[in-house]
Amino acid sequence: MQQLNKTSSRKKFLLWGSAILSSLTVLNLLGGQKKKKTEAITVKMLGQDGKLVEVDVEQLYCGKRKKISDEQLKNWVVKKKNNPTG
């Protein structure tokens, strides 16, 4: 009788433990996704004047893109001319 009672309590303990762990896991996954959606996702890009700027991902154009030539890439950054006399 006592042997049967021990196995029954062990089964109850394992079932309750697994139920609690699985419910905590589900709550953690559902709670973590809400926080990630509220944050704005930005990427760092090089501006035309050569400065590093942060751009919101939603503002980027995601349609067909045209590849630029090597010459356009070399002349893309606007260089400031240092005038030593002025």
In a domain, 59, yes or no: yes
In a domain, 84, yes or no: no
In a domain, 6, yes or no: yes
In a domain, 48, yes or no: yes
- Look at residue 71 in the predicted model and tell me its pLDDT: 87
Average of pLDDT values for 6-16?
A: 85
pLDDT level of residue 50 (50, 70, 90 thresholds): confident
45: containing domain: 1-79
3-state SS string over the chain?
CHHHHHHHHHHHHHHHHHHHHHHHHHHHHHHHHHHHHHCCCEEEEECCCCCEEEEEHHHCCCCCCCCCCHHHHHCCCCCCCCCCCC
- Look at residue 2 in the predicted model and tell me its pLDDT: 61
In a domain, 15, yes or no: yes
In a domain, 85, yes or no: no
Among residues 39, 38, 45, 48, the alpha carbon closest in space to that of 77 is found at 48
pTM for the predicted model, two decimal places = 0.33
